[in-house]
Amino acid sequence: MRFMEKTKGTVYLVGAGPGDDGLLTVKAKQILEKAEVVVYDRLVGPRILSILPDFAEKINVGKNVGNHPVPQEEINHILLNKALEGKLVVRLKGGDPFVFGRGGEELELLSQHQVPFVVIPGITSAISAATYAGIPVTHRDFCSSLHIITGRAKKAGDLSIDYASLVKLKGTLVFMMSVAAVGEIADGLMNAGMERGTKVAVIENATRPNQRKFVSQLDNIALVIEQNNVISPATIIVGEVCALSDRFDWFSNLPLKGCKILITRPKQTIGKLSQMLWELGAETVEYPCIRTSTIDFDLNMNHLQWIVFTSAVGVKAFFDKLFTMKMDSRCLHDKKIAVVGSETAAELLKYGIRADFIPSVFDAEHLATELLNSGQITSKDQVGVFRAKTGSEDLVRILTDHNVEVSDVAVYETNYVKNHKIDVNKFDYVAFTSASCVQGFVESFGEDADFSSVNAVCIGKQTASMAKQYGMNTTISDIATISGIVDKIKEIYNGE
């Protein structure tokens, strides 16, 4: 009896780009979302790793300049063995896999064993580091060529760089993995005839919020790197185009450049706020302090004139239940719907429904009061409130105090996430979007911890009140939305 040979998996050699997860290509993201095994290096950031499905096996091979805890040969065999198991394997590398990424070496063994592979290019830091420092690597008034050189020798010893040829080319020179060898490189170029005053830039942690840039000249760059303790990853650019950096540097001028923010939203909603702050130059750390989960509930709406939602999570839970009952939004044709704010309204619109009522101030108290004062809800109405199992009682209390019959329906619950302790003193601000996030944050440290150094930027009075109870310094966003949080952080960070 002949057994069928197991189908080989495919290995995707994927460039993750230079650090800013927004520079990950669409094709790379599509592959990561269905990866079964991911073998990744140190320079791949957590925001990119968060794209991976929960079922994916993640193997950190931790490669760093001069430090390879997992030897290259072993990495090659990991890729081969996982592919032979029939898995969809991703080798995820910083930058581009074929620009000093040893991608060719990793394909050799796969090719020998006839394992299918695909290479997905990534944006290399050789170009993007310069771009994020305001340096065009080519410019008709300065140079017409670009040359990318590694500052690492294959074996211990002097670098095999033909400095004389590089100097004759008169193009922009980009040295990668070269911080440790900058003195040797500078001497080599000057000895070959390059002017000592030639402009040089070094960019550390390119495209990331903690990017640092230093512009000097060739005979001084080694000292600048030493004095400022520049470490890898860093890119060195040599050429007169570096003189344009002061005029063209857009990244250093972002309004939240240098600002460090801790974000406490649930994992499923944390990304939007984090991305908005990141795009403004902030360094964000995602620290989910609560987890929301749908709970079973009876959905009986026949007697209701109004349906009220107090969160986007509640809207989703409601419609998930509706769909499991083989129903859809047509059953709401005779109902009016009120929501607590614009984000809840946006979630409702995903299901093709516009809210009939949104309060002028996005909180439960104003929602109830304005519905009553406007006469839209009276004691003759029956109202269904679909919300979290625990939370503010203001909405239900105010309506019932005015003799409105309320069906208070819990559609999801909130649980605290026990996080590892983090040094909150490293952050300029901690963003809280609900009182539950504050409580979950406190649970991670213990109620007896000292929170007096925490600058809490909060959505709503209730959230701020909870933060104040634990001694935090509080600021409330003008509008109770994540955009409001972002605007308030910009305002106080820039002293507006």
Average pLDDT of the residues of the chain: 92
139 pLDDT tier (thresholds 50, 70, 90)? very high
Q: What is the mean predicted confidence (pLDDT) over 31-35?
A: 96
Question: Quick one: 298 and 388 in the same domain?
Answer: yes
Residues paired with 456 in a beta bridge: 430, 474
- The mean-pLDDT minimum among 1-5, 361-365, 376-380 falls in 1-5
As given in the structure block, the two tokens for residue 150 are: 């590694």
CATH code of the domain covering residue 91: 3.40.1010.10
Question: Quick one: 405 and 352 in the same domain?
Answer: yes
Question: Quick one: 276 and 424 in the same domain?
Answer: yes
Domain total of the chain: 4
Nearest CA-CA partner of 384 in 300, 326, 285: 300
Asked if residue 433 is part of any domain, the answer here is yes
Cα 415–Cα 317–Cα 46 angle in degrees, nearest 5: 55
Q: Which pLDDT value is given to residue 367?
A: 96
Question: Quick one: 148 and 243 in the same domain?
Answer: yes
Q: Which pLDDT value is given to residue 7?
A: 83
Asked if residue 3 is part of any domain, the answer here is no
Q: Is the dihedral of CA 361, 491, 203, 170 positive or negative?
A: positive
Q: What is the mean predicted confidence (pLDDT) over 263-272?
A: 88
Question: Quick one: 321 and 435 in the same domain?
Answer: no
Asked if residue 115 is part of any domain, the answer here is yes
Q: Which pLDDT value is given to residue 316?
A: 95
Q: Is the pLDDT assigned to residue 205 strictly greater than 80?
A: yes
User: Secondary structure of 336-403 in the HEC alphabet?
Assistant: EEEECCHHHHHHHHCCCCCCCECCCCCCHHHHHHHHHHCCCCCCCCEEEEEEECCCCCHHHHHHHHCC
CB-based contacts of 4: which residues, under 8 Å, 6+ apart? none
Determine the distance from the C-alpha atom of residue 131 to the mean position of all C-alpha atoms in its chain, rounded to a whole number. Answer: 20
CA distance 369 to 386: 18
Q: Is the pLDDT assigned to residue 310 strictly greater than 80?
A: yes
Q: Give residue 437's identity as a one-letter amino acid code.
A: C
Q: Which residue has the tokens 């030897």?
A: 71
Query: The domain containing residue 27 runs over which residues?
Result: 11-123
For the annotated catalytic residues, the residue numbers are 41, 63
* % residues pLDDT > 90 (the chain): 81
Convert the pLDDT of each residue in 389-416 to its tens digit: 988 889 999 999 999 999 999 999 999 9
Nearest CA-CA partner of 202 in 190, 186, 188: 186
Q: Is the pLDDT assigned to residue 65 strictly greater than 80?
A: no
Nearest CA-CA partner of 196 in 223, 173, 216: 216
The whole-model pTM stands at 0.81
Question: Quick one: 285 and 428 in the same domain?
Answer: yes
Asked if residue 32 is part of any domain, the answer here is yes
